[in-house]
């Protein structure tokens, strides 16, 4: 049998949870039902011990990671730089929305599709409202995220994957890439220069996340995976929506597959919804944090970095002062004319 819970879970993961296949390849055969139950209990104990999650949640994470790998056609989108010594076992995980990219990547993508007449105005209006809330309030609603992903799955049902990937590439190049925070990109490049893996972990569609990762030279991306059959989206989900606990489940699976030591890893996010993922790491960093995450980060001694402009000014000076300054500046310009 494997010598440690980590090795046990790695072998179980490689078997895709087929306990009979796993044990017959690593122990003795044949196996009866009692032996399979014992193995299942051991795998569950290993997942709980290593990552504080249930075996079902771990399995959902495996499905999400393998779905992401299948979407990309490989595990790693960008190979490591051969001139940089690799720090095996260390990685950095970045949320996308409001951490790497200003605002919501899914909504920017949806607006790009709308400009290409992919949607009608009545379909895009709720999405535009959610973008306005997210941009100015600086926090995301779990209900908005879940509803948005369900709506997105319905939008793409029956659509060609090839067509969607092409649209993703166009929208990333014309809109999303330039919305990246330079400070966050510098942090990611710092990890790459140290020979560490850099992964995006996001609720946004995996095709969009992986194109972003490719454009920025990151190792790979885990995103929400829509089921594909015969080259078209079915409208069903594979694994978890990678939001909140779903990110933790996927990172646990990825860490097992890639042999990562999470005590030597770093995670970055703007949202308190990602505390489950942040709490897994040896180093957690709050980037452009919402109010709840800022409080948690300060209480736990996590690093905080803020690269925003409008909301940062509102928090520093207050809305009345900014409004007064705006009107004063406008009046001065009018007077000068």
Q: pLDDT for 62-80, tens place per residue?
A: 999 999 999 999 999 999 9
State the pLDDT at residue 291: 94
The CATH number of residue 104's host domain is: 3.40.50.1000
State the pLDDT at residue 289: 96
59 within a domain of the structure (yes/no): no
State the pLDDT at residue 313: 42
Active site residues: 95, 97
**Residue 156 structural domain:** 91-306
Looking at the structure, do residues 36 and 166 belong to the same domain, yes or no? Answer: no
Alpha-carbon separation of residue 155 from 120, 121, 152, 161, 171 (angstroms):
11, 14, 5, 13, 17
Residue 181's φ and ψ, nearest 5 degrees, are: -70, 125
279-297 pLDDT tens trace: 999 999 999 999 999 999 9
Looking at the structure, do residues 152 and 263 belong to the same domain, yes or no? Answer: yes
75 within a domain of the structure (yes/no): no
How far apart (Å, rounded) are the C-alpha atoms in residues 225 and 206? 6
Looking at the structure, do residues 117 and 216 belong to the same domain, yes or no? Answer: yes
Looking at the structure, do residues 44 and 105 belong to the same domain, yes or no? Answer: no
158 within a domain of the structure (yes/no): yes
Q: Which residue has the tokens 């690799």?
A: 86
322 within a domain of the structure (yes/no): no
State the pLDDT at residue 47: 77
Contacts for 131-138: CB closer than 8 Å, 24+ residues apart: 131/103, 131/104, 131/107, 134/97, 134/98, 134/103, 134/104, 134/107, 135/102, 135/103, 135/104, 136/310, 136/311, 138/98, 138/270, 138/288, 138/290, 138/291, 138/308, 138/311
R_g of the chain computed on alpha carbons: 22
State the pLDDT at residue 109: 80
Looking at the structure, do residues 34 and 168 belong to the same domain, yes or no? Answer: no
Low-confidence ranges of the chain (pLDDT < 50): 19-20, 23-24, 27-28, 131, 134-136, 138, 310-337
Looking at the structure, do residues 45 and 107 belong to the same domain, yes or no? Answer: no
> Is the pTM here over 0.75, yes or no?
yes
The number of domains in the chain is: 2
- Provide the H-helix boundaries in 3-141: 5-14, 19-26, 33-51, 55-72, 105-115, 121-137
62 within a domain of the structure (yes/no): no
How far apart (Å, rounded) are the C-alpha atoms in residues 65 and 75? 9
Picking from 24, 96, 148, the residue whose alpha carbon sits closest to that of residue 271 is 96
């Amino acid at each position: 049998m494997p010598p440690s819970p980590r090795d046990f879970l790695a072998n179980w993961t490689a078997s895709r949870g087929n306990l009979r296949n796993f044990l017959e390849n690593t122990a003795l055969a044949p196996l009866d039902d009692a032996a399979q139950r014992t193995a299942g209990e051991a795998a569950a104990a290993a997942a709980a011990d290593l990552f504080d999650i249930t075996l079902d949640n771990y399995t959902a994470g495996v499905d999400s990671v393998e779905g992401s790998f299948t979407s990309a056609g490989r595990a790693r989108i960008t190979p490591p730089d051969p001139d940089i010594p690799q720090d095996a076992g260390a990685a950095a995980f970045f949320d996308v929305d409001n951490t790497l990219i200003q605002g919501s990547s899914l909504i920017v993508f949806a607006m790009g599709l709308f400009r290409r007449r992919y949607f009608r105005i009545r379909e895009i209006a709720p999405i535009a409202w959610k973008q306005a809330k997210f941009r100015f309030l600086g926090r995301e609603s779990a209900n908005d995220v879940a509803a948005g992903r369900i709506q997105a799955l319905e939008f793409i049902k029956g659509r060609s994957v090839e067509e969607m990937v092409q649209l993703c590439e166009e929208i990333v190049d014309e809109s999303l890439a330039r919305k990246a925070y330079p400070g966050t990109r510098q942090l990611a490049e710092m990890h790459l220069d140290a020979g560490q893996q850099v992964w995006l972990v996001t609720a946004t569609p995996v095709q969009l996340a992986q194109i972003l990762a490719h454009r920025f030279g990151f190792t790979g991306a885990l995103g929400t995976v829509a089921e594909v059959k015969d080259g078209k989206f079915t409208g069903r989900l594979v694994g978890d929506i990678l939001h909140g606990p779903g990110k933790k489940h996927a990172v646990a699976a990825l860490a097992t597959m890639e042999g990562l030591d999470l005590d030597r890893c770093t995670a970055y996010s703007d949202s308190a919804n990602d505390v489950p993922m942040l709490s897994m790491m040896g180093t957690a960093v709050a980037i452009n944090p919402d109010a709840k995450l800022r409080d948690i980060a300060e209480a736990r001694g996590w690093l905080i970095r803020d690269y925003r402009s409008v909301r940062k000014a509102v928090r520093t000076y207050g809305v009345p002062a900014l409004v007064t300054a705006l009107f004063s500046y406008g009046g001065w310009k009018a007077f000068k004319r």
